[in-house]
Amino acid sequence: MKQRIRIGMVGGGEGAFIGAVHRIAARIDDRFELVAGALSSDVERSKQSALALGIDIDRAYDTFTAMAVQEKQRTDGIQAVIIVTPNHMHFPVAQAFLQQGIHVICDKPVTRTLEEALALEQQVRESGALFALTHNYTGYPLVRHAQHLVQTGVLGTLRTIQVEYAQDWLTQKIEDTGNKQAQWRTDPSKSGLAGCLGDIGTHAFNLACFISGQDVEEVAADLTAFVLGRQLDDNVHTMLRFSGGAKGMLWASQVAPGNENSLKIRLYGDKGGLEWAQESPNELWLSAFGEPTQRLTRAGATMSPVANAASRIPAGHPEGYLEGFATLYLDIANAIDALEKGADINSVQGLIPSISDGVVGMKFIQAVLKSSEQNSAWQKVAP
């Protein structure tokens, strides 16, 4: 009979947006079973959330440490944990489960500081466990097809990359009016030193690297907290220089009225250009130089196998954010199954964002912060 992978969750209790997203994403392809949780730092709320989710009461833990230890001891203990806490808890939670050899699926940014990220990278390596960082936008089929087009030379040598991620929900100072999502994201003690930069700028950065296949070598940045009294940046302007010779610009903002979740990327090489927008994720615009622009569609003509593998239903039947997220979970399920069957840990990561991607993201954040402090002087992104 079909075996589903047993998973637990830390954070993500009732009312937390991202926890529900991970659970739906994990369900879509029916490869996981949620059986344990420490869903809230509030013990009572944690239990209620667990009940509501169909978790056995004896696996609704008061603390993530208890959960890590006790689940390890069960013969039917969880095989992987999903971490969907505020940023500052990613590190200790991940450590606790990695110590038990339990695979970790962790929201981004990976930690609050680069030091933590590096320590975690070391621990992941030693644990032999899978570490998956949910840069979910790489799960969109057309993002993977974009990567494929770059890899197969369709754009030629990349020259300029324009990436942006704009939202408007922090246009006003809602962290003062009880919005919990806003509170922790604008609080350095929970978010780290990067606000908008860490929350969405890292997604844009990751997307640019994922598709282009290039690292960012240097960055010049101008961060701003436009909302009076806000402690962390809410708008990010950067110029980029990539390892392969491309240059770029990255704009991230949470104070841009009219933008809901507008992640967009454009890449231009000497042979062609590409354009993709997260809010219209089922189409990808490809312009071979000198030819008419083509509208490529998910599951449509000319799609690569890698894109089709991330697609569930026929073209014209829109897939969305949850399906893109689910594709990461599908990849993770396949990786864990392969590990169970004895595959080497170094062979299963595939397109799953890794701890290294998390470390690179933290290095990028560090370089951006430093550049902005130094009046936008170019900073190397530590190799």
Looking at residues 153 to 192 of the shown chain, list those that interact with a second copy (rule: CB under 8 A). Answer: 155, 159-160, 162, 164, 167-168, 171-172
Residues 6 or more apart whose CB falls under 8 angstroms from that of 87 comprise 109, 111, 112, 184, 190, 191, 192, 198
Structure tokens at 71: 């689940």
Instruction: Tell how strand 80-84 and strand 216-224 pair up.
Output: unpaired
For a second copy, give the closer residue by CB, 54 or 383: 54
For a second copy, give the closer residue by CB, 301 or 341: 301
For a second copy, give the closer residue by CB, 65 or 231: 231
Lay out the site mask for a second copy across 13-42 (x = CB under 8 A, - = otherwise).
Answer: ----x--xx-xx--xxxx------------
Q: How far is the CB of 284 from a second copy (least distance, A)?
A: 9
For a second copy, give the closer residue by CB, 122 or 280: 280
Selected from 86, 139, 195, 272, the binder of a second copy by CB under 8 A is: 272
Residues 6 or more apart whose CB falls under 8 angstroms from that of 377 comprise 220, 371
Return the ∠ at Cα 128 (arms to 125 and 129), rounded to 5°.
105
- Residues paired with residue 84 on neighbouring β-strands, in sequence order: 11
Q: Which stretch binds a second copy (CB under 8 A): 5-13, 191-199, 294-302, 340-348?
A: 294-302
For a second copy, give the closer residue by CB, 30 or 115: 30
- Residue 114 near residue 363 (C-beta atoms within 8 A): yes
Lay out the site mask for a second copy across 354-373 (x = CB under 8 A, - = otherwise).
Answer: --------------------
Residue 86 engages a second copy in binding (rule: CB under 8 A): no
**Helical pair 64-73 and 90-99, crossing angle rounded to 10 deg:** 20
Q: Which stretch binds a second copy (CB under 8 A): 118-126, 189-197, 277-285, 350-358?
A: 277-285
Q: How far is the CB of 91 from a second copy (least distance, A)?
A: 26
For a second copy, give the closer residue by CB, 82 or 120: 82
- Residue 204 near residue 194 (C-beta atoms within 8 A): no
Q: Which stretch binds a second copy (CB under 8 A): 7-15, 46-54, 80-88, 198-206?
A: 46-54
Selected from 315, 343, 345, 351, the binder of a second copy by CB under 8 A is: 315
Each as own residue / partner, the long-range contacts of residues 346-352 (CB below 8 Å, 24 or more positions apart, any chain) are: 348/130, 349/130, 351/138, 351/144, 351/306, 352/130, 352/132, 352/328
For the segment 237-266, give every residue that binds a second copy (CB under 8 A).
237-239, 241, 247-249, 251, 253, 255-262, 266
For a second copy, give the closer residue by CB, 105 or 227: 227
**Helical pair 141-151 and 202-212, crossing angle rounded to 10 deg:** 40
Q: Max CA-CA distance within the chain?
A: 64
